[in-house]
Structure 1
């Protein structure tokens, strides 16, 4: 009779899951660490959500702390994600938004010395031409952009502390829309490419930006009266920067300074306005001109630029020696990619505690 003896089998040893050091930390300590780590453009927060289930849960509150969104489709996707997340778990504190699609690894620095020379002297690059043609076909309409920005800012208006919005407009009639909701927590605002004659944001007379301390307006898409108007909405404003706002819209920077600081109007003030008292909290105004390349300058534009510098010099020497700082002019360029990435680098610097656009190291000597 045959007998079958049972065969002893060794149990299969399953691999022990590797537990990282952070997985052993209490959630309070992890959240404290993540609050300092998530200060870039949002890359760190997204990476933390892929580490482990525990890290995913403990980093949830900081996943939307700092956000950089490029493109209308990305804005709409972000709106959907925010609407699905309870408000206490999505406190957006720092936001960079633009409707232009820029590659993730793009930089504001020129690709080469030849690329820089091409921008200055007007030699067209085949790559640049192909990119501009592609972007022209994929660029969303003004109405789509307007609705996306209003929807996004409406979702984050109660917690937003710093906002940089870059939307240089190629055509008149498009403005950067600010939300009708009150930005009660906003302390720093940078606006690139605002066109004032078609303002998309008409606030109530009692509307204010109560905590706004720093305002940066950049780009030629603005008008003469928009900057003083925004300054009056911010009673706590201490710092103002104007970068390249004088191009193309008849903006006279010395006249803006005279309105904000309540200075006597000079004979060269081409935009006399109703006199207002000096802003109660303003401490520093930084001005930086952006001159166009020589190939785009006319004699009239060149004379306006020199005349504005002369009046600015007079204002600084006579009235605003400690209030106004003039930085050395930068070369104006029409490369949207560089403009967006330059603004993003300044925004990241501010989020990480740097000076960003408030660096006064490259001053122009206008004192006599």
Structure 2
């Protein structure tokens, strides 16, 4: 240990602490020397599951000097990963704490997985996330009843975006809002779509003729709002929700949606400015614990894995 300068130990600790925070907590207890080395990385990676941890983290971060709270990787979920039930109550204090953490983390954040599972507050929280500027954010996963990102250049270097929780995100590609918000996006995954015929038609109109904006086709009628794909988009993945047929109409809508998506999966290979497309079966994700699965994907990406982008069969 004495033969290595502190700068080298600091660099090694920085690399070692790319997890959910457990490594840096262990290093803090090794010795006074390693405590001093590890202190700047206490908040480098944070995983916050549940209301209690979110509230405590917000209070702690607010009291911490800005140079000691440079958060690079953040997982935040209002549902604890050990619970399969989504939160049914609304806690204004947790909402405020969540927004506070996002504000503090935004200038230095590089990867973010954000789960807002309370139905009555999910859209509001995610919309505030999309209105926040993240100048260094490279990867973002959002789960909940999300609106569409549209604030210009709010995530200028974002490359990978995973949207989950909106059953029919029809309009995602309208008016160029996605590209305006994320001009560098190259990977897009949309998970949990269900009976989304309008969204499937929107994709079909884009992927079949990507060179010129077209109106979306919904229920056989032309819609006035033009749709465009982000210019740098290279991989587009759609994962359907687990099939739960509740009526004849639901079965028909599911069949119509799958017919379009499967045809795109077979026919769209990418190239010439068109992204590669893949449709994934929702049954592969039917384990009932979205928080646990998305946290595992987040940690896999931190350790150099592919996370939710693995095993899709496209480059």
Match of 2:166 among 220, 224, 242: 220
Please state which structure has a larger fraction of its residues in strand: 2
Q: Distance in 2 between matches of 1:58 and 1:85?
A: 17
* Equivalent residue number for residue 209 of structure 1: 155
1:328-339 counterparts in 2 under 5 A? Answer: 328-331=280-283, 333=286, 335=288, 338-339=289-290
- Alignment correspondent of 2:202: 255
Distance 1:84 1:52 in 2: 25
Report the Cα distance in structure 1 between the residues aligned to 2:75 and 2:173, rounded to whole angstroms: 21
Aligned equivalents of 1:98, 1:360: Cα separation in 2: 25
TM-score by length of structure 1 reads 0.71
* 1:290 has 2:238 as partner: no
Specify the structure having the higher radius of gyration (Cα).
1
Distance 2:141 2:17 in 1: 21
Mapped pair 1:156 → 2:105: yes
Partner of 1:321: 269
The Cα shift of 1:32 comes to 1.5
The equivalences for 1:75-154 within 5 A come to: 75-103=54-82, 140-141=89-90, 143-154=92-103
In structure 1, the residue corresponding to 2:158 is in which secondary structure?
A: coil
Q: 5+ unaligned residues in a row in structure 2: which ranges? A: none
> Hey, what does 2:259 align to over in structure 1?
310
The aligned counterpart of 1:29 is 8
Does structure 2 retain, via aligned residues, the 8 Å contact 1:215–1:240?
A: yes
Q: Give the aligned partner of residue 45 of structure 1.
A: 24
**In the TM superposition, what is the alpha-carbon distance from 1:150 to its structure 2 partner?**
1.0
SS of residue paired to 2:155: coil
Give the structure 2 partner of residue 18 of structure 1. Answer: none
1:345 to 2:296 alignment: yes
TM-superposed deviation, 1:89: 2.4
The within-5 A match list for 1:266-277 is 272-277=223-228
Alignment check: 8 A CA contact 2:89 2:118 kept? no
**Distance in 1 separating the partners of 2:229 and 2:42:** 41
Tell me, yes or no, if the aligned pair for 1:243 and 1:289 is still in contact at 8 Å: yes
Superposition pairs for residues 10-25 of structure 1, below 5 Å? 21=1, 25=4
Distance 1:148 1:312, change over 3 A: same
Count of matched residue pairs:
301
CA-CA distance at 1:273 after TM superposition: 4.7
Structure 1 counterpart of 2:193: 245
Instruction: Check the 8 A contact 2:90/2:120 in 1, yes or no.
Output: no
Residue 70 in structure 1 maps to residue 49 in structure 2: yes
Return closer, same or farther for 1:292/1:270 CA change in 2, 3 Å cut-off. farther
* Offset at residue 149 of structure 1 (A): 1.6
Structure 1: gaps of 5 or more residues: 1-20, 107-127, 364-368
Root-mean-square deviation (CA, aligned residues, Å) is: 3.2
2:182 to 231, 234, 256: 234
Structure 2 length normalisation: TM-score? 0.82
